[in-house]
Amino acid sequence: MDFLRNTLGVLAGLAVAALIITLGVKIDSDWVTYKEFAPFEHWGLLLESVQGKDSFFIALLFFGGLGVTFGGVVTAIIVKYAKVAYAILIGFIMLFIAMLDIIIYPYHPVFYKISIFLIFFPFSWIGGKITEIIYERRKKRLKQAQQQHHQ
């Protein structure tokens, strides 16, 4: 049963991260020039059209960090044990996807290629730590409440 719960947690975390990144890319209407929702069909054209526009890649890094942070939080909430480890797994999977993107489409600037390593792991770790700290504080409060109740 833990396997299903962990798998669901990872999939939910990836979905949250992908949603945040997708919505972040759509913020500037100059970047997204296609009408229908088919981001994978148009991704190469989009990257080619924003080549030289560092603001797009900065936004992509920002929303990537935000996405893996919230994806890590969602994953850590759903899984039962090793919350931080599963949150870091979200960062690893998103880093793998970003590396595939860089390999397939050569339009990324060098600062983006370097920065993804500095963004995905630490921010997914932060997402897991946020959840772990919240759970530890709640556990501590419950323990104090039980001790006060027994006195």
8/62 Cα distance (integer angstroms): 26
Share of the chain above pLDDT 70, in %: 89
Query: What integer is the mean pLDDT of 42-63?
Result: 80
Is the per-residue pLDDT at 87 higher than 90? Answer: yes
Residue 43: predicted pLDDT? 73
Is the per-residue pLDDT at 133 higher than 90? Answer: yes
130/15 Cα distance (integer angstroms): 19
Torsions phi, psi for 35 (to 5 deg): -90, -50
Q: What is the pTM of this model?
A: 0.85
Residue 63: predicted pLDDT? 93
**Crossing angle between the packed helical segments 110-150 and 54-78, to the nearest 10 degrees:** 30
Domain map of the chain by residue range? 2-150
Q: Hey, what are 74's tokens?
A: 């969602």
CA distances from 63 to 27, 48, 146 (A): 11, 20, 41
pLDDT tens for residues 105-114? Answer: 888 889 999 9
